[in-house]
């Protein structure tokens, strides 16, 4: 079986989310004897990741001819799309549609990395206005703000007409569309008004690391950890800072470390100063592994997620998660009071209480840490790759992996 991954960015160590998943899956597929190739938009990285026999940088002005050439040269069986940005989708997917007419045996699988319908969620307009006034990616944030204003003006039902074409394009161009959680199948069907369950599959993302032998739970430091893109509308990291204000005096041997970058990083740093927070460190974009290894409690305040890789990473290292139960995959990944804590959406008081309970009860925290390491193995690379291979074999039975 020969697979062509297609992504928005090259698979590099500093890239997260989608590119991390692509890298992990390619390594797993390669171990099973599959040949993997990568077509990526954006700039190439010298020290990339993933087990790719060859990489190709997308020629946006000649997409069809380029993809056709790669398919013919590498004898590709399955096109595996991870494209999320609008500009790349509208370049690549029409080319794939034409390619499938020319090569009827080739299959196209789309992995949808988001929660279907997230575009229908409303976020505070002040977030975008603040960025615009500070000169942060003005054009992009103005577009976001206009979309939010339109959503409020015309209502969710009417606004759906603006996002249906994107979701319909992904569905129509694919042989199978894979979402990250079973509940997302119904959400996607409802969004584009179809009922065709056989065209969908649900496969969650795999554990990012395959070499964690001993997370050293008993030796962990008293550290709360956040690993996140710093964008307030979905990640809501302002809540973390407000919560820390309430717990920082409970036990002064604990600290808060925040890893990641994004449009609101300076806002959060300023907020931390205004709140007079102590023992808080902003590390920017880093390889997160060493932070997971030393930290005891992981904080996630997201309003929406598809399948958060950072949550899996934290559990893999015995970093006990506290997560708002505001998206479907939260309860799929975390078992409440067993391997982490699920907090009812928007219940700030319960979130703070969970932080205090975990930081003051070593026995409970260690018990959950060991359970997190154990329970997250149901998302191991081997188990996840097996699901993908079963899907590929179903699509291309004559090329069983």
The domains found in the chain, sorted by start residue, are: 2-206+380-399 (3.40.50.2000), 217-379 (3.40.50.2000)
Q: What is the pLDDT of residue 184?
A: 96
Rounded CA-CA distance 205/20 in Å is: 10
Tokens coding 16: 């997260």
Q: What is the pLDDT of residue 297?
A: 98
- Each residue of 306-330: pLDDT tens digit? 999 999 999 999 999 999 999 999 9
Tokens coding 151: 């959503």
Rounded CA-CA distance 137/263 in Å is: 8
Put simply, whether the predicted model's pTM sits higher than 0.85 gets the answer: yes
- Each residue of 250-293: pLDDT tens digit? 999 999 999 999 999 999 999 999 999 999 999 999 989 999 99
Q: What is the pLDDT of residue 116?
A: 92
Q: What is the pLDDT of residue 401?
A: 58
Share of the chain above pLDDT 70, in %: 97
- Each residue of 104-162: pLDDT tens digit? 999 999 999 999 989 899 999 999 999 999 899 999 999 999 999 999 999 888 888 88
Mean pLDDT, the chain, integer = 93
Instruction: Kindly list the strands in the beta sheet with 78-81, ordered across the sheet, starting from the edge strand earlier in the chain.
Output: 54-57, 35-40, 2-7, 78-81, 107-111, 176-179, 200-202
Q: What is the pLDDT of residue 327?
A: 95
Rounded CA-CA distance 289/279 in Å is: 21
Instruction: Kindly list the strands in the beta sheet with 341-343, ordered across the sheet, starting from the edge strand earlier in the chain.
Output: 280-284, 255-259, 223-227, 297-300, 320-324, 341-343
Rounded CA-CA distance 109/4 in Å is: 10
pLDDT at 14 over 60: no
Confidence band, pLDDT 50/70/90 cuts, at residue 50: confident
pLDDT at 13 over 60: no
pLDDT at 234 over 90: yes
Which of these ranges, 37-46, 136-145, 197-206, 367-376, has the smallest mean pLDDT?
A: 37-46
Cα dihedral: 101, 107, 111, 112 (round 10): 30
- Residue 67 burial class via C-beta count within 10 angstroms: exposed 0-12, middle 13-18, buried 19 and up: buried
pLDDT at 16 over 70: no
User: CA 357, 311, 14 angle in degrees (round to 5)?
Assistant: 130
């Amino acid at each position: 079986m020969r697979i062509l991954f297609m992504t928005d960015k090259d698979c590099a160590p500093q890239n997260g989310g989608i590119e991390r998943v692509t890298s992990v899956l390619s390594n797993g597929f390669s171990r099973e004897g599959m040949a993997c190739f990568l077509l990526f938009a954006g700039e190439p990285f010298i020290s990339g990741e993933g087990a790719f026999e060859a990489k190709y940088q997308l020629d946006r002005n000649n997409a069809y001819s380029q993809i056709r050439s790669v398919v013919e040269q590498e004898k590709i069986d399955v096109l595996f799309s991870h494209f999320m940005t609008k500009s790349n989708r509208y370049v690549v997917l029409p080319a794939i549609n034409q390619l499938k007419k020319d090569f009827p045996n080739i299959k196209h699988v789309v992995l949808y990395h988001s929660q279907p319908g997230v575009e229908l969620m409303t976020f505070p307009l002040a977030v975008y206005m603040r960025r615009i006034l500070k000169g942060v990616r003005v054009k992009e944030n103005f577009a976001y703000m206009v979309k939010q204003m339109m959503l409020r003006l015309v209502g969710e039902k009417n606004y759906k007409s603006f996002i249906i074409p994107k979701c319909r394009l992904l569905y129509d161009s694919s042989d199978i569309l894979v979402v990250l959680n079973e509940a997302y199948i119904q959400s996607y069907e409802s969004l584009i008004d179809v009922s065709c369950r056989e065209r969908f599959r649900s496969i969650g993302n795999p554990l990012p690391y395959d070499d964690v032998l001993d997370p050293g739970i008993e030796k962990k430091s008293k550290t709360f950890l956040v690993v996140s893109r710093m964008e307030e509308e979905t990640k809501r990291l302002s809540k973390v800072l407000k919560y820390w204000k309430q717990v920082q005096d409970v036990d002064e041997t604990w600290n808060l470390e925040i890893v990641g970058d994004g449009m609101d990083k300076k806002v959060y740093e300023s907020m931390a100063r205004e709140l007079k927070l102590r023992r808080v460190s902003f590390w920017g974009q880093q390889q997160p592994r060493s932070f997971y290894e030393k930290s005891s409690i992981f904080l996630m305040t997201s309003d929406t997620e598809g399948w958060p890789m950072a949550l899996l990473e934290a559990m893999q290292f015995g970093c006990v998660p506290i997560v708002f139960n505001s998206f479907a995959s939260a309860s799929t990944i975390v078992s409440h009071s067993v391997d982490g804590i699920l907090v009812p959406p928007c219940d700030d008081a319960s979130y703070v209480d969970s932080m205090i309970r975990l930081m003051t009860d070593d026995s409970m925290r260690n018990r959950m840490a060991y359970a997190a390491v154990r329970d997250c193995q149901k998302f191991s690379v081997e188990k996840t790759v097996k699901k993908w291979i079963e899907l590929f074999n179903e699509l291309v039975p004559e090329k069983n992996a």
